[in-house]
Structure 1
Amino acid sequence: MKDNRSVNRILAILELISKNPDGLTLGEIYRELDMPKATAYDFLQTLYKADAIYYKDPFRKTYVIGSKMYAIGSVYTKNSNFITTSAPLLKQFSDEYGCNAFATKRINGDKIVFVHVYQSPQSQIVSHVEVGLIYNSFSDNFVGECYAAFDKKIEGVVRIDESKKKDILNKGYVCELGGELNHVMNIAIPVYNFENRVVGVVAVSRLHTSMEDTQALAKQFKEVGKQISRRLGYLGDIL
């Protein structure tokens, strides 16, 4: 079936606006998307009237995502088995170990979106990650490396160093130091569903203390991944 060009353009506009929380003007949008000005204007006005976008700055007329898109996203959150299954287990783990927790999904083949974020009151770090944040690369972040190592659907498409991939597969998780001072330890693990495929990646971040602590934390976090996968109907073996 042939793609509908207008729908694709509207989705491109919404995706672009979602990546710019300070808002974008009409000129910035049609130039970035290489779209006729009149076409972009018509789409923006339609979206504006539907409350899908609104003016963050009425004087500059900068567009940001509106209440309609939030409502639609909320319905997805409620209906997603992955989110509803993982959220309480991530919260329980984070509160016990003083972590920030995240759940992500792969979209459009080559992007990663954060669909759930939780910061424990016991956490000693602040993670500047919000629901809806999109990563456009698999190679420059620990979550993307986890997908690249475990997700069979992108095997051969996303490049990852073979020795690094082997190490990740052997451990069953990805760990990476982050933060301006490399003071944050990030751990990511895959989650599988009843079709025996990677349905998402969950991750935690915590103040780094030692590699011994990291290995112990990762071992416990892998158990959380197993619980989520089992509840989603996965019957295979997880390292």
Structure 2
Amino acid sequence: MVSDNGFVRSVERVAALLELLSQRKSPMRMIEIAQALDLPKSTTHGLLQTLQAKEFVVRDASQRYRLSLRLFSLAATALELVDLPELARPAMEELSGRTGGTCNLAVLDGHDVLYIEKVENRDSVVRLVTHVGTRIPAHVTSLGKVLVGALPEADREQWLAEHVFERMTGHTITDADAFRKDLQEQARRGYALDNQELHSAITGFAAPVRDHTGKVVAALSLAYLGSSTNAAEKKELGAQVVQAAATVSTALSTR
């Protein structure tokens, strides 16, 4: 249900509940939460049961509720992503300067990749159209392949079932089965490849950026104008992207 201000009422209530628990130094009973938020007991019980099932709150032996450590993990990830473009830029500049290509850093946002940093070779006579804040369907980019491939299996299968595989070029993968096979090949190869699937003039290579736990939090890519002419060239560029992404992962985990 949508409230008068246009907000989703259930989401407002969840936010208020989490904020309440974050402000209290000790766990709270359900009735205390209901009274503090002026909510019916049944509504409060449903919110708490859902949040507990999703591991956002924990209920102790005394039937009192507190925030879970999962929220702290999410907050830590958010802080890492704020710093990530700055941490990644030196490795991206080095890779762009060495190869002449454009380096991008992106995260997965639903069914799109969201570009959060870009380094373009200054000597290039051609400029790519992407910029920080650009969103592109994940299936047509090497960045998206890395990020979708890193999802837990159940989430990945749901993503594949729900995604619209729009054709961008004659090389674009246009169905879930073919995309799943491409992800399997990516895992074997060690890096993702966009074989002119977004634009007929661009070949892309990407690798994962991981946090201190090993979780993939972003992807780093090299957009290379023109098609690589042989397998050896592709392998070499892919290896350089993997190394650059590993350098960023190290910087992220040791900051």
**Which bracket does the TM-score occupy, shorter chain normalised?**
0.5 to 0.7
Question: Which residue of structure 2 lines up, in the alignment, with residue 82 of structure 1?
Answer: 84
Distance apart, 1:176 and its partner CA? 2.0
Question: Which residue of structure 1 lines up, in the alignment, with residue 190 of structure 2?
Answer: 172
Distance apart, 1:140 and its partner CA? 3.4
Question: Which residue of structure 1 lines up, in the alignment, with residue 246 of structure 2?
Answer: 226
Could you say which structure has the higher helix fraction?
A: 2
CA distance in 2, matches of 1:197, 1:163: 22
**Unaligned residue ranges in structure 1 (runs of 5+):** 9-75, 235-239
Percent of aligned pairs sharing the same letter: 13
Q: Give CA-to-partner distance per residue, 1:20-78, whole Å, 9 cap, x none.
A: xxxxxxxxxxxxxxxxxxxxxxxxxxxxxxxxxxxxxxxxxxxxxxxxxxxxxxxx999
SS at match of 1:131: coil
Question: Which residue of structure 1 lines up, in the alignment, with residue 237 of structure 2?
Answer: 217
Distance apart, 1:5 and its partner CA? 5.6
CA gap of 1:138–1:5, structure 2 versus 1, over 3 A, is farther
CA gap of 1:184–1:196, structure 2 versus 1, over 3 A, is same
CA distance in 1, matches of 2:99, 2:123: 8
Contact 2:141 2:198 (8 Å CA) reproduced:
no
The two structures, once aligned, show a CA RMSD in angstroms of 3.1
SS at match of 2:127: coil
CA gap of 1:5–1:227, structure 2 versus 1, over 3 A, is farther
Q: Give CA-to-partner distance per residue, 1:151-188, whole Å, 9 cap, x none.
A: 33842222253322211001121112328983322111
Q: Please list, as runs of the form range in 1=range in 2, the aligned pairs for 1:51-66 lying within 5 A after superposition.
A: none
Distance apart, 1:6 and its partner CA? 3.8
Q: What TM-score do the two structures reach when normalised by structure 2?
A: 0.56
CA distance in 1, matches of 2:213, 2:4: 30
Match for 1:232: what amino acid? L
CA distance in 2, matches of 1:147, 1:93: 20
SS at match of 2:157: coil
Contact 2:220 2:241 (8 Å CA) reproduced:
no
**Unaligned residue ranges in structure 2 (runs of 5+):** 9-77, 161-175
Q: What TM-score do the two structures reach when normalised by structure 1?
A: 0.59
Q: Please list, as runs of the form range in 1=range in 2, the aligned pairs for 1:3-14 lying within 5 A after superposition.
A: 6=6
